[in-house]
Structure 1
Amino acid sequence: MEQYSTAYIGLGSNLAEPIQQIQQALQTLASLPQTQLRKHSSLYRSKPLAGMVQPDYINAVAVLETQLPPYLLLEHLQTVENQQGRVRTGERWGARTLDLDILLYDQLQSSDPRLCLPHLGLTQRAFVLYPLYECEPLLTLPDGTKLVTLLQHCPMDGLHRIEN
């Protein structure tokens, strides 16, 4: 029997019906090859990063069991983003129809600019930490930090759960 890895995927959207974008992405994640959608968080509404003037984001986290290696999973996620109208403008934290990020992949650690694991910013972003906690409250990051410890230092800052 093939070995499965656990991948935690951050989902975000603030353009073109964001709630529907996230729901569609979750359905698509469930149909990826050699992959099962184990569970996902509720949907959360958050303000844009760095005070940017753009619509609020809808965020969620999905937990996948996958046989896809990390870079192949990344390629599939980027294909899903493109299929849902993602346009890469090069603007950091710009508005987007869909953003899919590999937050964690098993206990892998990588500083590769193409796929940094754990995902950069994961430990400071309420819109990632709270949905991640909803999925895996006992999660420990690859460096040994407990997710619950990170939450103690990360206020919700306007993050609101909007759907189960």
Structure 2
Amino acid sequence: MRIKYLCVSKGKVVEIPVSKIKNSKMIKTELSGETVLMMEMIYETENRKPFKIGKIHFDKVTFNQDGIYDIQATSTKYFQIKLEYAFSDIHNTIESKSLPIPIAPCIPTEEEIQAIKIYIDRKYPFLLINSPRVIENSISKSKEIHKDEIKKFKESHRNKAMGKLDEL
């Protein structure tokens, strides 16, 4: 399994090689001062060439004036909230603790999806041939997960409110 990062800015796709990630910072000077759609793509290789997409994740990220995106600075809160939801399933904490507001998924526009597909088709043709609906499936899955998290959020707050009413 390998990973690629593709950023969409103003209809143009910019690839960030893994070699440009140092100390949890992505460097791409042509994206200086911009907020862009970033697609993280995990893929399989065959004969050392990208062959099939395994997982995709979308996010909006902002590069500073020097063209640096600090992964660690922005992802800590995201992972903390995701972990709370994961552990709520394991430990059934919905009944005892209010969950934080779930983070909405980043859903790319049709134009962004088209730009990504054109780029991948031109640069890595086997990826879309072997994974034709992976982008759409990833978006659907993100929406489904978010819907479940909203349900858990509401349930945790309802249970917390009921517990306070019982105390009165």
**What TM-score range do you get, normalising by the shorter chain?**
under 0.3
Bigger Rg, structure 1 or 2: 2
TM-score, scaled to structure 1: 0.26
The structure in which a higher percent of residues are helix is 2
TM-score, scaled to structure 2: 0.26
Which gives a bigger RCO, structure 1 or 2 (Cα 8 Å, sep 6+)?
1
